[in-house]
């Protein structure tokens, strides 16, 4: 393409992490980790533009050369109990994200037939906290069962306040982070019969949201809750 100005972005980042595990009594261990991470912007987020027609309305998605990388700090603390045939782990976690990428931000939405203009912006922050639970039990030499679940107490990201691009104010609204389910529960059983191994499992997902890319302005919708069952066997 020759009808846009290419852009260039450079940055430095330092991401330390540390963890600790300590046995409190026989079979019971406490654990703690803390660390930092980052995500760089993709090239298509930084420069260029793409024109699409959605629901009979033209939409232009343009890059934002001023995007900063996402940065996060996370920590978790929990306890694990294990014996010869049983394992249980409960872990609480929290993550704080700065400069989160917010896709499909409406920059302008004039009356039709003028095109809708979309771009990517850095949100102010995101806060994620929740609980992970895992358990496994052997029920003999040939059968084992397992279950794990993740529940989010909070999964919010703050958006930029409406205004001229690329304005972003501290009083912007919050929304649930897209494609992060409120609850995910998995359970199953493993059967081992000499050379034959069989696993039967299920997964339940509740409270996941995403954009509807088939409608103008890409409105946010809530997916139906769903359950998936599967079975595998190997020799």
Task: Please check whether residue 200 is in contact with residue 163, taking contact to mean a CB–CB distance below 8 angstroms.
Answer: no
Number of other CB atoms surrounding residue 170 within 10 Å: 9
pLDDT on residue 164: 46
Percent of the chain with pLDDT over 70: 92
pTM of the model: 0.74
Give dist(CA 189, CA 19) in Å, integer: 31
**What would the two tokens of residue 55 be?**
């629901």
Give dist(CA 229, CA 124) in Å, integer: 39
Question: Closest Cα to residue 204, out of 156, 128, 151?
Answer: 151
177 pLDDT higher than 80: yes
21 pLDDT higher than 80: yes
């Amino acid at each position: 393409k020759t009808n846009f100005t290419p852009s260039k972005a450079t940055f430095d980042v330092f991401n330390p992490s540390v963890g600790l595990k300590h046995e409190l009594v026989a079979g019971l261990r406490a654990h703690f980790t803390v660390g930092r991470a980052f995500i760089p912007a993709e090239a298509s987020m930084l420069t260029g533009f793409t024109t699409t027609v959605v629901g009979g309305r033209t939409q232009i998605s343009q890059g934002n050369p001023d995007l900063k990388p996402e940065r996060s700090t996370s920590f978790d603390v929990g306890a694990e109990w294990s014996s010869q045939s049983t394992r249980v782990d409960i872990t609480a976690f929290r993550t704080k994200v700065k400069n989160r990428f917010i896709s499909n931000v409406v920059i302008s939405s004039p009356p039709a037939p003028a095109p809708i203009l979309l771009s990517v912006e850095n949100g102010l922050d995101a806060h994620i906290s929740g609980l992970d639970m895992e358990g496994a039990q052997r029920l003999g030499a040939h059968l084992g069962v397992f279950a794990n679940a993740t529940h989010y107490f909070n999964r919010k990201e703050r958006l930029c306040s409406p205004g001229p691009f690329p304005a972003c104010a501290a009083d912007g609204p919050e929304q649930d982070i897209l494609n992060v389910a409120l609850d995910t529960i998995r359970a199953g059983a493993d059967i081992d019969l000499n050379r034959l191994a069989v696993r039967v499992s299920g997964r339940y997902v509740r409270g996941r949201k995403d954009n509807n890319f088939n409608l103008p302005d890409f409105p946010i919708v809530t997916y139906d809750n769903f359950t998936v069952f599967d079975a595998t066997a190997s020799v």
